[in-house]
Structure formats: structure tokens, C-alpha cells
Structure 1
Amino acid sequence: MTTSPLELADLRHRVDRALAGFLATQRALLLEIDPALDEVAGTMSAFVLGGGKRLRPAFAYWGFRGAGGTDSDAVVAAVSALEFVQASALIHDDLMDRSDTRRGEPSVHRRYETLHVTSGWRASASGFGDAAAVLLGDLALVWSDELLHTAGLPLDAVARARVVFDRMRTEVTVGQYLDVLTQATADTSLERAGKVARFKAAKYTVERPLLFGAALAGGGPAVHEAYTAFGLPLGEAFQLRDDVLGVFGDPERTGKPAGDDLREGKRTYLVASAFEALGADGRAELDAALGDPALDDAGVRRLRAVIRDCGALAATESRIAALEAEALDALKRAPIEDEARTVLFALAEAATRRTV
């Protein structure tokens, strides 16, 4: 049995409907508290519904189906809760990185900084924007809990999935801390870059959503082991692709300024590979420019050339290909339903060969 792009798009539409319905309910609740919270409701709706690939709900849903679960709107609502975890991570990540945009629109802290300025309010506009982003990111994490618990699934299924859900949220949070720590300590080792990639993104993008879906379905140990063997390398490949796009991506497609990862000083696998391959002069040049917020387009082009010419880009692409092959080999042998296997193959390709 094959699964068409239309069927994959149908799941995305169902996830969007679940999110829109939940957000409408939350808007009504916020307006009961204070009319000023209409801005918060609008921001959350625009951020959650305004883009995103819905990969995490897709991996969770097909992880559920692969483990023998039967489709229902309640399952779709439950896996949609992962989008609020993603929203929380992105809002906070943009704040920590001082990113101006997300998906081609102002980041949340910039949106509220602008609101402060245009409204003529008192005190610090940037401080207000920062505070709003912290609180809205926290609110998204709170709502991830609420959507999971109100999805309509049996309590025993929710209890099984809750173990994975909690572990996933801990991992992505401490993974983000390790990312910040790595930038602060200027650690350029491939070992540290790999660990950050695993915990900041790999596990919560693929492995944990798959295990979340399997737990909802009551899948056994063999399914969980197969999903880990597939999900961990695929998730790491996904993050390495993200790292490549952060330096070499087209801003028209990524919605982020070119070279933002370089200005933010991200110590990614790509950058760590460059430090390993370069001589002393090249390492000094890269180290001096990395993390400079004033790095102009010419400086970005120069660092791109340094990273490409030393072989780091090719090494990272080779690593992505090896991780994808490892993941697909594990998927071929996984004891799961054939329809889910077919879809997971397609999702794997979308995760590693994307341009956004």
C-alpha cells in the first residue's frame, strides 16, 4: 500500500483544525480574564497556525498507527499537542538568539517590542518584548499539557504517553541549555556538537514523537526499540540539515536572514567540522568572526567560503547521508504496520532533504 502526498496533506489539515479549535477555546478564556489578552491570543494563533511543517505530529501519528493504533480525531488532537512544545521552544530560542524574524515574520519578542513603541508605553520597549516572549513561550508549554489531557483519549493511554511527553520536554529544555553553554564556552568539539544536536532537536523531533505515538497505541518493547533505532539517527540528520540551512540556506525559503547562525555564534556540527579541518590561521579567522552580531553580508560570504573550502560542508552532507541510511535500514526491519512504514520513509526524506 502506498500513501499519496494528498493523504499526508490531509493529516496536516486535521492537525491544523485541532490546533485552531483549541486556540479558539483558549481565546475565549483569555478574553474572560481581560480584553488586553486578545493580543496574546492573536499572537499565539498567528505563531502556531502561521507555518511549520507539522513533522512532530506526523511522526507521532504514524508512530501510533505503526504500533497498531486506530485513527481517530482524539489521536490527532493528542499528537497536535507537540506543536505547542515546538512553539514554546521556538519563541524562547528566538529570544535567546536575539533573532529578528521567524518564518519571515517578526519574532515574538520583536513583535511586542514594536507594540510597546507604537503604543507609546513607558519603560523599556525591549524589556517588555523580552518579558512577553518568556511568558508566551511558557504559555505554549502549559497549553501543550492541556491539549494532551483534553484530547479525548482514554486515561490509561494518556498515562502511558505522559512518561514520554515529560521526558521529551526535559530533554529539549536541557538541550537548549547545552547549546547556550556551548556558545558561551566556545566548545568546538564534534562530540559536544553531536550531543547538542541530539538533545536540542534530534530526540524531540523524531524519536520522542514516535515513542509518544507508540505509547498511545500500547506498542510493545520491540516497537519502541525499532523506533529509537530509526528515530535517533534520523533526528540527528534533521538537525544537521537545519545547521546547513542556517549558514547556506536561502532566506526567501527559510524566513531567516542569511548567516544568522554565524552571527549568533552557533557551535554546530558544521562549524565544529570546520574547526577540525582548518589550520591555525583558518581557525583564528573563524573564531574571530563567529558570534559577531555586526557580521555583514560580505563577512557571511567569506565564512561560507571558509567552511565550504575546508571540506566541512561536504563532511556534514556525508554525515547526513550516513545517518539517513542508518535510519532507513532500521525502518526496513521495524516490526510495524506496512502503511506506517511507507509513510515514515516519505517523512524521513522530507526531514533530511528539505530546503526550509
Structure 2
Amino acid sequence: MTSPLDAADLRARVDKALAAFLGEQRTRLTGIDRALVPVAEALEDLVLKGGKRLRPAFAYWGFRGAGGADSDQVVSALAALELVQASALIHDDLMDRSDTRRGEPSVHRRFEARHTAQGWRGGAAAFGDSAAVLLGDLALVWSDELLHTSGVGPVELTRARPVFDEMRTEVTVGQYLDVLTQATADTSLERAGKVARFKSAKYTVERPLLLGAALAGAGPELFAAYSGFGLPLGEAFQLRDDVLGVFGDPERTGKPAGDDLREGKRTYLVAAAFAALGEKESAELDAGLGDQGLDGRGVERLRALIRDSGALAATERRIDELMTAALAVLDGAPVEAEARAVLHRLADAATRRTV
């Protein structure tokens, strides 16, 4: 069966829109200075050579579910979500000190290596960090540009703009709350849930659905239904991400094994483990979280603590509960039949994935 991400040939159309836009930006950058070629190449590689296009898919089928008529202009507008995602990934990798992304060097490591290879002055790591901040900012700037140059009419853009702006604010403050939670070592389930909602859940599913609904001119009833469907589904997506961050196969995820543990992420999975462990085991888990020198044996020990606490099973149950709640809202929503069927399949793809 064809992936729901490819329904209406959407993934290929999003890729085409992104390639055209980034090609224009490459011309623009090289017209300023040939030294910007590596900047254009890095963003092209990150955006075009990977990614499931999940956010444009939810936005597109949210649009179609609201009765919107298909057009390449709408697809281009929704492709802007991939540039928001690129910005978030670049900055997230920098903050987490991640070496890889999708099996390739992360942007800060890529530019650090370039500095070293060229024998430039100053610190290579500092240069890489600076480049990542700026490229992440540039991707966010370009997301706005792609939206408003997509060819979608001014009335539709006026409706969509508040959703797009709110989404970008939410994901940014969600990232800050994630950093704060690691710094304060907050292990509460309440804090972990809030970080999951704002860092990922809302901008992965709920806000893309609402963006599509706004472009289509949907009414309050459908907006409420999309929120009722999208928020629990987005949380389930993030919980699956948290499970993969600890127990995922690096060959499939493109990230080193145990990276989330070395970064000290206080996810729902980790919070559930702390809530269930005894004092001795809790102290051991706390000591290992955030240890950048954690080796393979240490990763396996922390995995065992989390698994044996029952936190992994509890997180899987929570994913199922959220999925059930989300689909119940979707089934009762005034959504076009084809879109409802694809959204069902997208929900499954988002929560049953292994990458």
C-alpha cells in the first residue's frame, strides 16, 4: 500500500517546491558572495536529502478535509513548514551537541570540519556553532518568505498568518523549556508533558492542521476538532520520538545510540522511570543522565533501569491512549471522507514509526 505521505503525490510535490525555492536562494546567495555556496549547500542537503514531510502532509489533508481545492500554490505554502523544521533541527542539534542528523554530520559539525580543513584562524568549534545559529535563523526567515511568495492569495494568507506565527513562537519557547528542564533536572511528568506539547506536539500535528484549515477558510467547529485530534496525536508522536531516542536503532534513526541519555533529556519516558524507581536506582539514573562520556555499557545500564521500572511499557500505553482519543475526535469531525481516511493513516504512521 502506498504511504499516506505520498497520497496525492504530495511528498514529491513538496520536494519539488522546496528544490525550486532553495535553487532561487542559492542564486541569491552566490550573487552576494561565492563564500556563501557552502551555506546554500548545507541547507539544501538538510532539507532535500531526508525528512518524511509529515508536517506538510497534516497541513495539506487538513486543508482538503476542510473542503479546500488542490493547487500547487497551496502545496508550496505548506512546504514552508519544512523550513521551520530545518531551523528547529539545526538549533536542536547545536544545543544538544549532536554529531549527526539523518546519518550525516550535523550543521555545526559540518562547518567545524570545514574550518579545520581550510586551516582558518580561531576555534573550529566556535565557528561551527556560529554557522549553525545563523543557518538555523536563515531557514526560519526563509520559511516566512516561502509562505508569502507561494502564490496563495492575500485573503488566504491573512487567515493563515496568525497560525503560522503562533506555531513558530510555540516551538521556540518549547525548546527553551526543554533546555531549562535539563538544567533544573525537573523530573515531573507535568513538566515533561508540557515540553512535549510545545516543543514538538503542537507544531508537528495540531498547528499544521490548523494552518491548512485556515487556508481553506474553515469554521470554528472544524478548528476545534482539528485541535482535539491534533494535540493528543502530536503528544503521541513526541512520546514515540522519546522512545526512539533511548531504544531506537541508530541504523534507522540516523542518531547515535543513547544520544538522548547523554544529553540528559527529561522526557515523559524518563520522568515515568523516576516516578517508579527506588531511591538507589533513581540516583543511578540521575547520575547517568547528561553524562557526555556515557559509553555503550552505560547506555545499556540506563536503558535497563528505564525498562525495568515499567516506564517503557507505561509510555507505550500512553501512546495508545492518546492515539485512541485523537482518532475518536477525528471520527466525529466534519471532515471530507478522503481526507479523513488519509489522516487516519497519517496518525498510524506518526506513532508506529521506527525512525
- TM-score category of the 2 structures, normalised to the smaller one: over 0.9
Q: Answer whether contact 1:54 1:83 (CA < 8 A) is retained.
A: yes
1-structure distance, mates of 2:18, 2:321: 35
State whether structure 2 residue 225 is matched by structure 1 residue 226: yes
Indicate the residue corresponding to 1:270 in structure 2: 269
Give the C-alpha shift of residue 166 in structure 1. 0.2
Letter of the aligned partner of 2:318 in structure 1? R
1:326-337 to 2 correspondence within 5 Å?
Answer: 326-337=325-336
Indicate the residue corresponding to 1:349 in structure 2: 348
Give the C-alpha shift of residue 3 in structure 1. 7.9
Letter of the aligned partner of 1:171 in structure 2? E
Q: Answer whether contact 1:3 1:342 (CA < 8 A) is retained.
A: no
Give the C-alpha shift of residue 9 in structure 1. 7.2
Give the C-alpha shift of residue 60 in structure 1. 0.4
Letter of the aligned partner of 1:118 in structure 2? A
2-structure distance, mates of 1:6, 1:134: 30
Indicate the residue corresponding to 1:187 in structure 2: 186
Letter of the aligned partner of 2:123 in structure 1? S
Indicate the residue corresponding to 2:171 in structure 1: 172
Give the C-alpha shift of residue 264 in structure 1. 0.1
How many equivalent pairs are there?
A: 355
Give the C-alpha shift of residue 6 in structure 1. 8.4
State whether structure 2 residue 114 is matched by structure 1 residue 127: no
Q: 1:209–1:131: structure 2 CA closer, same or farther, 3 Å change rule?
A: same
Indicate the residue corresponding to 2:21 in structure 1: 22
1-structure distance, mates of 2:309, 2:122: 48
SS in 1 for 2:69: coil
Letter of the aligned partner of 1:330 in structure 2? V
2-structure distance, mates of 1:38, 1:84: 18
SS in 1 for 2:29: helix
TM-score (norm 1): 0.98
2-structure distance, mates of 1:175, 1:89: 11
How many percent of aligned residue pairs carry the same amino acid?
Answer: 75
Query: After superposition, what is the alpha-carbon deviation per residue over 1:205-256, rounded to whole angstroms, capped at 9, x for unaligned?
Result: 0000000000000000011000000000000000000000000000000000
Letter of the aligned partner of 2:165 in structure 1? D
Supply the RMSD in Å over aligned alpha carbons.
1.1
Give the C-alpha shift of residue 8 in structure 1. 2.2
Q: Answer whether contact 1:91 1:107 (CA < 8 A) is retained.
A: yes
2-structure distance, mates of 1:187, 1:314: 22
Give the gaps of 5 or more residues in structure 1.
none
Give the C-alpha shift of residue 10 in structure 1. 1.4
State whether structure 2 residue 111 is matched by structure 1 residue 106: no
1-structure distance, mates of 2:96, 2:209: 29
Letter of the aligned partner of 1:337 in structure 2? E
1:301-320 to 2 correspondence within 5 Å?
Answer: 301-320=300-319
Give the C-alpha shift of residue 7 in structure 1. 4.6
2-structure distance, mates of 1:191, 1:248: 23
Indicate the residue corresponding to 1:148 in structure 2: 147
Indicate the residue corresponding to 2:70 in structure 1: 71
Indicate the residue corresponding to 1:117 in structure 2: 116
Query: After superposition, what is the alpha-carbon deviation per residue over 1:238-296, rounded to whole angstroms, capped at 9, x for unaligned?
Result: 00000000000000000000010000000000000000000100110000110000000
Letter of the aligned partner of 2:170 in structure 1? E
2-structure distance, mates of 1:40, 1:57: 24
Query: After superposition, what is the alpha-carbon deviation per residue over 1:31-89, rounded to whole angstroms, capped at 9, x for unaligned?
Result: 11001111111111001001011000000000000011000000000000000000000
Give the C-alpha shift of residue 4 in structure 1. 6.7
- Runs of 4+ deviating beyond 2 Å: 2-9
Q: 1:282–1:6: structure 2 CA closer, same or farther, 3 Å change rule?
A: closer
Indicate the residue corresponding to 1:215 in structure 2: 214
Q: Answer whether contact 1:55 1:205 (CA < 8 A) is retained.
A: yes
1-structure distance, mates of 2:187, 2:217: 41
1-structure distance, mates of 2:101, 2:8: 23
Indicate the residue corresponding to 2:93 in structure 1: 94
SS in 1 for 2:293: coil
2-structure distance, mates of 1:9, 1:276: 45
TM-score (norm 2): 0.99
Indicate the residue corresponding to 2:250 in structure 1: 251
SS in 1 for 2:26: helix
Give the gaps of 5 or more residues in structure 2.
none
Letter of the aligned partner of 2:38 in structure 1? E
2-structure distance, mates of 1:324, 1:9: 24
Q: Answer whether contact 1:3 1:343 (CA < 8 A) is retained.
A: no
1-structure distance, mates of 2:2, 2:249: 30
Letter of the aligned partner of 1:157 in structure 2? E
Q: Answer whether contact 1:3 1:339 (CA < 8 A) is retained.
A: no
Letter of the aligned partner of 1:62 in structure 2? W
Query: After superposition, what is the alpha-carbon deviation per residue over 1:6-33, rounded to whole angstroms, capped at 9, x for unaligned?
Result: 8527100000000000000000000110
Q: Answer whether contact 2:4 2:342 (CA < 8 A) is retained.
A: no
Query: After superposition, what is the alpha-carbon deviation per residue over 1:288-311, rounded to whole angstroms, capped at 9, x for unaligned?
Result: 110000000000001101100110
2-structure distance, mates of 1:5, 1:246: 24
Indicate the residue corresponding to 1:322 in structure 2: 321
SS in 1 for 2:86: helix
Q: 1:45–1:220: structure 2 CA closer, same or farther, 3 Å change rule?
A: same
